[in-house]
Structure 1
Amino acid sequence: MLDKEKEAFLESVYQSAFDYERDYGYCTQAVIAALDDHFKKIDKEVIKAIHPLAGGGALVGDGTCGALVGAMAAIGCYFGRSKKEFENNSEDWRFSSKLAKKVREKFVEEFGSVICNDVQKEKFGRGYDLWDSEDNKAFNEAGAHEDKCPDVTGKAAEFTAEILLEEGIETAHS
């Protein structure tokens, strides 16, 4: 893929994730859905399985940002260990963690933390309790699903797509 093609491809991945999060919420699913649109071989059940991991896990904000969780789950879709391979305790299985760590490092460089509430503070100036109705309302009024969370989601998907391309994962259109 030429540099301009790669740049356009990564922008398309970013925009897909941005749009999914803006339109449907749940950053974890938005990342996986965008990567599923652009790459081959993501099991559709993964999108369903990661639904409750958004918003720091169970929407509580004190865990890992769902966009990063979705990004790392996508890495696992390609490079993770299957149940059949549990007994093969090879160092080779650290490879998926190595790639996920690369995504994590880019994420921390961009947002300063992996914790959902910390990312919220970076983007909004404060964290929110998404289970509190007034806080949830303030979160949405502050642009949560207009540009702030969609941007985080788009960047997480873009960081992941770049790594998948580097590792030779086939795009959906190749």
Structure 2
Amino acid sequence: MIDYKNMPREEVLQKAYETAFGYERDYGNCPQSMLATMHDLFGIGDEDAFKSGTGMAGGGALAGQGTCGALVGGFMAIGLVFGRGPDDYKSRKGAGRAYRAAKELHDRFIREFGGVVCKDVQNKIFGRSFNMLDKEEYQLFEKMGGHTDKCTDVVGKVAMWTADIILDELKK
């Protein structure tokens, strides 16, 4: 965990972007790249939380039809910080702060990418979408910069926004 409390905010946000970008470039799996970054920055999450992100990559199961995995990872990180536990869940209390923070992240994502569905984000950043489960399509995704400058940038931006929102919420 970095000493985010004693760092300039812009430095924390830049660290979030660079760390997430690097994880996505080097290891892939957008939600896990997000969770690893938030763990490095804020010390949140454990192995189970990290593992839970695995199947959510590429819009869920690499199918492209669901929510962008980077955004899902951001939602998960917000939940780890501001979410409710089992007791509050059963009493139906305590979710408001997480919902508000997640909505802020959602809205920033929409402003930047125009939608939340993985294939729609791909269309925005590549000019087309890919079937990530098809070997040739996946190779083309990589050739066009999937893990060089495209999805890496998406993950970096979401990490930066998530860190920004967490820092704001922690002040309240």
Q: Is the 8 A contact 1:120 1:128 kept in 2?
A: yes
Task: Please list, as runs of the form range in 1=range in 2, the aligned pairs for 1:6-155 lying within 5 A after superposition.
Answer: 6-90=9-93, 92-155=94-157
Q: Is the 8 A contact 2:101 2:169 kept in 1?
A: no
Aligned to 1:172: none
Q: Deviations over 1:39-66 (max 9, x none)?
A: 0332232111111101000000010000
Question: Greater CA deviation, 24-33 or 160-169?
Answer: 160-169
Report the Cα offset of residue 93 of structure 1: 1.5
Question: Which sections of structure 1, spanning at least 5 residues, go unmatched?
Answer: 170-174
For residue 168 of structure 1, give the secondary structure of its aligned residue in structure 2.
Answer: helix
Q: How high is the TM-score relative to the length of structure 1?
A: 0.91
Q: Deviations over 1:16-72 (max 9, x none)?
A: 000000000000000111111010332232111111101000000010000000000
Of structures 1 and 2, the one scoring higher in RCO (CA 8 A, sep 6+) is: 1
Question: Which sections of structure 2, spanning at least 5 residues, go unmatched?
Answer: none
Moved over 4 A (4+): none
For residue 9 of structure 2, what is the amino acid of its counterpart? K
Say what the alpha-carbon RMSD is for the aligned residues.
1.6
Aligned residues: 167
Q: Is the 8 A contact 1:43 1:77 kept in 2?
A: no
What is the alpha-carbon distance in structure 2 between the residues aligned to residue 70 and residue 45 of structure 1?
14
Report the Cα offset of residue 88 of structure 1: 1.5
What is the alpha-carbon distance in structure 2 between the residues aligned to residue 153 and residue 12 of structure 1?
13
